[in-house]
Structures are given as C-alpha cells and as structure tokens.
Structure 1
Amino acid sequence: MKKINLAVVGATGAVGQELLKILRERNFPVGGLKLLATERSAGTKINWEGRDYTVAATANEAFEGVDIALFAGGSASKEYAREAAKRGAVVVDNSSAFRMDNDVPLVVPEVNPEDVRQHKGIIANPNCSTIIMVVPLKVIHDAARIKRVVVSTYQAVSGAGKEAIEELAAQVKMFAEGQQEINPEVFPHQIAFNLIPHIDVFSDMDYTKEEWKMVNETKKIMHDDSIEITATTVRVPVFRSHSESVNIETERRITPAEAKEILSKAPGIIVQDDPGKREYPMPLYTSDRDEVFVGRIREDNSIANGLNMWVVSDQLRKGAATNAVQIAELVVKYGCF
C-alpha cells in the first residue's frame, strides 16, 4: 500500500492526541508525518511509533509535500485549511468552518462514504453529536424512512477540550473539600453536579449553534431535507462519551424487534438492549471505544409510527478522531488525493 505523507494540525490537543493514537491503532499507512500546532505549543516533543517528533508552528509552507492533512479543529482551520488544499493536501477538517459549504462533503463513513469522491480539497468531519446520531438514524431511514427526529443530548465535558476536563475535575475536588464558592471559567456555570442546557452560542429561535448543527448537518449527510429535526443539547458532568435520547417518527411502522435486528447487523453499531438484565449503553463503559452503542429501543406510545432509542458513543473517538481517520482511509481507498 502506498505510504501517505500526513500532517496533524492541533497535534497537542485532546483531538490531536486521539488522532495520533487511532492512526497507530488502525495501522494507517503513514510515510512522512508532520505534527503542527500553535506557536505556544511549537517545540513540544511527541513520541509516535518509537520516534520523537518535534511539533512545529502551523504555517502555509508546512503543507508542501503533504498528501492528507488532519485538522483537529479550532481557528487553524479557517486560517490554513484552504491554503493546505491549494498546496495539494486533502484536508480532513474537524472544525465547523466548512461543514455547510456546498463544495465541501460532510462525511460519516457508515452513512455516506461515496461523498468523499466529490471533494475539492476539503472534507468536513461533522459535529460529534451529529455523527453519533446519524449512524443509527441511517439504518432506520433506509428501512422505514424517517419523517421527524426529536433529540436531546447529554454531552461530556471533553467535548469542550482539555481545559473543560480539568475544570470538572477541579470543581469535584473543591466540592468534596467543602469549598462553598466555585467560580467557573470554561463553562458559564458550575458543571460539577450540575447540568447546563447551553452548548455554544444562542442563535435563531433561541436554539444554540450546537442544536442547529444537529439539524442542518443531519439533513446534509442524509441527503434528505424533508426530515424534520429538533434538538436540545445539554452539557453534563461526565468526562467522556456523549449520550443522546432520540425519538423518531417514520413513514411506516417499524417494531422494536425489527429495529434491533437491522441495527445489530449494521457496521459500527453495537446493540446493548436487555432491560430485564439492566443492560443499556452508558458513557462509563463506551469510553475509548469506536462503536456507536444503541439501547432502550422501544415504541413511542404517543404516535402510530414512533420509536425511541438511547444512543451513546465516545465523542473524542467516533465523534471526532476516529471518524476523521476513517475519512482519510476512504481517501486512500478511492485514490482521491
């Protein structure tokens, strides 16, 4: 297999570190490797596959000779992604900068892999919550055609970065030590022992930007603007793995038994659903896994063709880094670099 000259932008951050871990786990055919980050992180040493690499500051010229550039997200995408593509790299971008651009494919490999072939230099990785939801949604949509989705998310703090993880850990410690005044810095309110129904900025109709991402990105990935979607996204005091309560209305009735059968046969999904044995997906046990776990599959008692699901997945892996590496694998498979 041809070796790929690869760049990882944001290599020192939470998603960047996951990218490097997953590249190794999946035996991605890395030839040359450039690790890039901010000026502040430049000079950091990272050992990968037994070799020490020095992180360099991200710059346009760094993308010369790069086949695929994995952007971990953040402001670097807007500043460097298009220039990296101009210099010949296929950019797989984790930020929200290009997701809704008409000329940029938005890809979840289990859902719309062929869209990779349509890239013009940049392929967008969807929002973590969107990825986790659309993997099982696609299976149900193919079987019974989805009319409407109501989703409520329970999102781990690691979705907001390393500083958010540190803030939750520090607040738990302060609370345990009896400290009365806890001043949040990353989140707008204390996150320890609390829920915050506010992720990203508020936007149209008082929905947050995170909520609109789930609406608009899902329609683009599924190639179906007719699906009605409404979302409520909530930050919870969990370190890792997002959970989602997904209510679906379909054109034809699909029974829980049928749903369990087709979901269990779908790639990237593990059905964990035995209420009698108290078996259902939980973030504690889905962390550091690539699969999307689905459980609590049951009929919606309030409408004729309704289904409820509880969906959990590691948002740093399948919701970000693993999905990005899977996209890069498709780029190699299809030879479109």
Structure 2
Amino acid sequence: MTAHLWNPATLGKLELPHRLAMAPMTRDRSTAEGVPTALNAAYYTQRASTGLLITEGTQPSADGQGYLLTPGIHTAEQIAGWRTVTDGVHAAGGQVAIQLMHVGRISHPSNTPHGRQPVAPSAIQPAGAMFTMSGPQEMPVPRELSTEEVTETVRDFRKAAAAAIEAGADAVEIHAANGYLVHQFLSSNANKRTDRYGGSVDNRIRFAVEVAAAVADEIGAERTGIRISPGNPFNDITEEDTARLYPALVRALAPLNLAYLHVVAGGDEELLHSLRREWPTALLLNRPGADIATRVKDIETDLADVVTVGMMALANPDLVERIRTGAPLNNPDPATFYGGGEVGYTDYPTLSAG
C-alpha cells in the first residue's frame, strides 16, 4: 500500500502534491562554463511529476567547482541557463530547488575556470583522486581559508541564492553533506582550525549556521532547505562526535525556521529519530537504495514528511505513475551516470512510450 505517499505536503512556501521528491544527483552534463543546456532542461522537465526536483549540486562561486561539467549559479550565463530549466519544469507542473554545493577540498585545479588551488577549512589533503580531462589525478593539498575568506564564502552562498531565485528556482537547498565544504567544517578530520570556526562543536557548526542564516535572510526561510548526512564518511570525512554534533547543529538551525531539513540516513536510527524530534519544520528523508515499501513506512510512522528518491527518479521519468499503478521500474545504468549526452539521461522509456 502506498496511500500515504499521495497526501499533499507543505515545505515552507512550497505546496507539494505528494510525499515524493527527487534527490540531488550529479550528472556532469552542463557546459564547460557551468551553464545548463537545453538537454539539462529536458532531463528535469521529464521528471516534473516527481513534484519537487532538487537539482544536482551547483557551485555558488568559481572556487566551489570540483568536478567537470557541473553547473554554476554565479554568472549571468548560468542564471539564464537555469531559467530554461525552471521554465520547463514549471510548465510541466513541477517545482525546483537548486542545490548550492561548494566542494571545498574535493577538487582539482584543472577542473576549475581559474585553475587555482582548492580551498578548505584546513590545509589537509583528502584521500582519493579526481577525474579530470587528462584522467584521474590526485587531489592536492587545499589552501586554508582565512577567517575573512570564510565570511566572504558565506556571502558567496547568499549571492548564489539570490541568483537561483532570479533564475526561477522555487527554493534553494544548502549542501552540508557528503564531504563537501560545509560538511568539511563540521568534521573532525578536515577541520583543524583554531579560530572561531574550529575546535569545539559550537565552532565547527558555525559556518553551516551562518550560511543557512545568510541564505534565509536573502531569499526567505520559507524558500531555504539544508541537507546533512550524519556519519557519512564519503570524500574522506571523519566525524568522531556525530551524536553530539548533529543535535547541536539542528538545535542551532531550528530558530531560523527553514522550509526543511533533508537528512541522508546513515544507519544510526536513534540519531535519526532524535533529529526528527528536534526539528521544528518539514523533514525530508533519503535512504539510499531503499525500496518503496521502506520509504512508505517512513511516511506512515511520521519519521519523514517527504521521502527523496535518487536513482529511481534518474531511471524513471514517470516514477510517480509507475508507483501509483504498480508498474515495473526501469533499472538505472551506472555506466551513463556521469557525463555524456542523451544516453542514460533523457532516453529512459516511459510507460506512455512503451
């Protein structure tokens, strides 16, 4: 039974027709200048029935780029490109939240428009390689942001949020998960600062709270969401105090009255339930790899207001119709997740085309 999925939901200013939303997924199909294209617009528009589409990570500044062919939202050309996306989705009845993602140290100079050294909370090299046009390359030691530059980065998020609304977005999601810049400040291995942004839990959550406050002040809290992934080691992240860190973060964010908190479940159900109790507005829950029955149960038990789906939405433009009718789902093709053209992007079949 999926009846609970079809009840409407309210996320701040957003009125959703049901309890499903599309999770953000990097697809690496924008131009080299970070401009969304007609192909990107087609991809999102195809999936408009999913209700709320949270976009792929979008860099708020040139320093925020880490991967090839990811979109930005800090130039006039990028804003115009995103406008083609939002216009298409709105015409098809959907809504768009542009996710602001500053990658921090998860980058390589050859992937950025200026070729500069990556920036981060501390000058600590991440493990792993970054794919570049010349193949995988070791990620370099990043440059530690000065205290003044941290403040400037907060302003970058503010300006990018305004640009997203100018581009027609209905909301903005701050990416504070998956080992990128905001998550790096939260962590105990990527952040070894000795100023007001490092050391104690209160100091390590400061950047995330300042970014959220700046974005909410710029575009309205009712249009602002934030995504977290407690305990996620992705991109060489260590959190030694997750049980203290995330309740403290959520309590600090709560007075902002943001539209939603988007949590990527990491297996700690006790922590997840505690965050649900602490959070005053809507909670979106993403359980990577979970089946529909599990996601429905999260709605039924009031653990989540909305459940977000990634690969299911990637491979099924008409996911809502397929779930409603019990139709089989297309299987996603991992070989086409990143980069390329229409194949594995806009050519997944729909029921009406079958």
Higher strand share: 1
The alignment's TM-score, normalised by the length of structure 2, stands at 0.25
The alignment's TM-score, normalised by the length of structure 1, stands at 0.26
Instruction: Report which of the two structures shows the higher radius of gyration computed on alpha carbons.
Output: 1
